[in-house]
Homo-oligomer: A and B are copies of this chain.
Amino acid sequence: MYALVEALYPICRSITGSGVRQSLALIGKHIPIKVTEVRSGTKVFDWVVPREWNITDAYIANASGERVHEFRDSNLHVLNYSIPVRKVLPLETLRSHIYTLPDQPDLVPYRTSYYEERWGFCMSQHALDALPPGDYTAVVESTLENGSLTYGECVLPGESDDEVLLSAHICHPSLANDNCSGLALLTLLAEELAQRRRRYTYRFLFAPGTIGAITWLALNEERVGRIKHGLVVSCVGDGGGPTYKKSRRGDALIDRAMMHVLKQNAAAPVVRDFSPYGYDERQYCSPGFNLPVGLFQRSEHGTFPEYHTSADGLGLVAPEHLEHSYQLVRTAIDILERDRLMINAQPKCEPALGARGLYATVGGDKNAAQSNMAMLWVLNFSDGEHSLLDIAERADLPFATIWQAAERLRGAALLREREPSRG
């Protein structure tokens, strides 16, 4: 997973352009990706698909012609979506086109100007301060022309047409955590799920933030009702959190599954109520859709000092954090796949588990004790009202333990399946 983060990191992405296509090509080495191109000018709800932006070079040169700041060193060095420019101007005038972080003077900010035509550069405050007065040549060799917005999908059909939507934004350039990490996690998750029997159909969506999600929703409006569960994944490689932000509904199965998984598997999980700010859950959870889509992150966007700066590099992301994030998401998907309403076939008094060899004699064997308790919980609450996840929550036991107990009891004909009445 970390290798894929490394491969994605150097690409200069934006909300349109060749960077997105290159990234999808990398992802496409792991999983089948269907790429969709949507022409500039296409109306998508209240928005219009913008012109396509591409960039080949950008730099600031001093009077001697030396490049004192250039795009080739880092694609953060240019204002994302900067219009082309080639101009000689004194430092004082140039300053108004240079973005810095005075409070974090060593770092270069990540800045964009999608919907207002501007040209500019991003620089550390220290680098700006080091520029001597004089005339400078500012060059941005970019194009902003009719073209298309690009997104990629990987769909894994399941037993049901009901869908699980897993979505990551693919518009940020060299920011490792935000969101090479999310792209890599979902890519490898798709690779694994492709090998498994699937109750649900899985749709992985790699699209530029905001305008990409809006475009996808606009073009797939009639299909949206199939989405029964969903998760936006971003910033999943750092050491913070983990954090789950609930869907607007707040009590969707994905909300309960993620909260259960974080509670059972993380030392200090953070759970947030829905708010209308963040990543593309803003669009999925707009009131006209109100999809059951939550957001999974480690550190929360906007709260960690490296956020949207050059410090969000490969060093911020660690393989063990990526792996932990992956396990959390996959465990939640296990819950979506396995949660069911089961029915106790002998609901009057406890069945004689011991006589059936199901009840382990406990001699300090903690696993056996937990397994016994799990069977008692499953039997007592499999009354047609409580799903396996309900029971796991009530028992405060891992879902997997409850599910294994249910499987044993089903094997002994003490439990039978009922179709879930909710989803």
Contact = CB atoms under 8 A, between A and B. Distances in A.
Interface of A: 45-47, 115, 210, 213-214, 217-218, 221, 248, 273, 275-277, 282-283, 285-290, 344, 346-352, 354-355, 373, 376-377, 379-383, 394-395
A190 to B, nearest CB: 25
Residue picked from A286, A351, A383, most chain B C-beta under 10 Å: A286
A300 B75 CA distance: 63
B376 A276 contact: yes
A288 B45 contact: no
Given A217-B349, A218-B348, 18 more contacts: A45-B346, A46-B352, A47-B352, A115-B352, A115-B355, A218-B349, A275-B377, A275-B395, A276-B350, A276-B379, A276-B381, A285-B380, A286-B348, A287-B379, A287-B380, A288-B347, A288-B348, A289-B349
Contacts of A248: 380
Ranked nearest first, the 3 interchain pairs of A and B with the lowest CB-CB distance are: A288-B347, A288-B348, A276-B380
A18 B33 CA distance: 76
A45 B283 contact: no
A347 B214 CA distance: 12
A327 to B, nearest CB: 28
Nearest to A210: B350
A282 B377 CA distance: 11
Contacts of A352: 46-47, 115
Given A115-B355, A355-B115, A376-B276, A282 B350 contact: yes
B289 A348 contact: yes
12 contacts: A45-B351, A46-B350, A46-B352, A47-B355, A115-B352, A221-B348, A275-B377, A277-B376, A282-B376, A283-B349, A286-B348, A287-B344
A380 B115 contact: no
B349 A45 contact: yes
A276 B372 CA distance: 11
A348 B217 contact: yes
B45 A286 contact: no
Contact of A348 (B45, B282, B383): B45
A46 B380 contact: no
Given A287-B382, A344-B287, A383-B287, A351 B276 contact: no
Contact of A377 (B276, B377, B381, B382): B276
A382 B290 CA distance: 12
A214 B383 CA distance: 19
Contacts of A355: 46-47, 115
Contacts of A351: 45-46
Residue picked from A277, A288, A348, most chain B C-beta under 10 Å: A348
A349 B285 contact: no
